[in-house]
Amino acid sequence: MQIKGLFKKNIHKNKINNLDSSNINVPDGLYTKCPVCSKIILTEDMYLNNCVCPECGYYMKLDARTRISMVVDKNTFSEWDTNIEERIHVNTQVMRRKSRILKEKQILMRQ
């Protein structure tokens, strides 16, 4: 290796260290990071690829409305029964109550 090459490497490191993150102005939501391969993807490209990572093929999490808009044709979907109330099963209520009591006991044990 030549001596000249050694100095180039140090100059490159200094440039990276001198970057101030406050100078970088990236709008929120512009990029998405794949949770599997950690590749940074332009969010618009991710949506154009049906929310699949182009690197590893991971399917990103989607909310129901986004998934429906991807599956059905435009202006053909109409939601039925939008006025249905949520009913929580009795076992679910009991489990939530037990969970709450357990959390309260854990907090008291820490004190």
Q: Work out whether 58 is an interface residue with Zn ion (CB under 5 A).
A: yes
70, 50 in Cβ contact below 8 A? yes
Range 22-25 contact pairs with CB under 8 angstroms and sequence separation of 24 or more? none
Angle at 93 between CA 102 and CA 65, to 5 degrees: 110
Q: Work out whether 34 is an interface residue with Zn ion (CB under 5 A).
A: yes
Q: Work out whether 56 is an interface residue with Zn ion (CB under 5 A).
A: yes
Of 56 and 70, which has the nearer Cβ to Zn ion? 56
Q: How far is the CB of 29 from Zn ion (least distance, A)?
A: 18
Q: Work out whether 37 is an interface residue with Zn ion (CB under 5 A).
A: yes
Chain residues in the site for Zn ion (CB under 5 A): 34, 36-37, 53, 55-56, 58
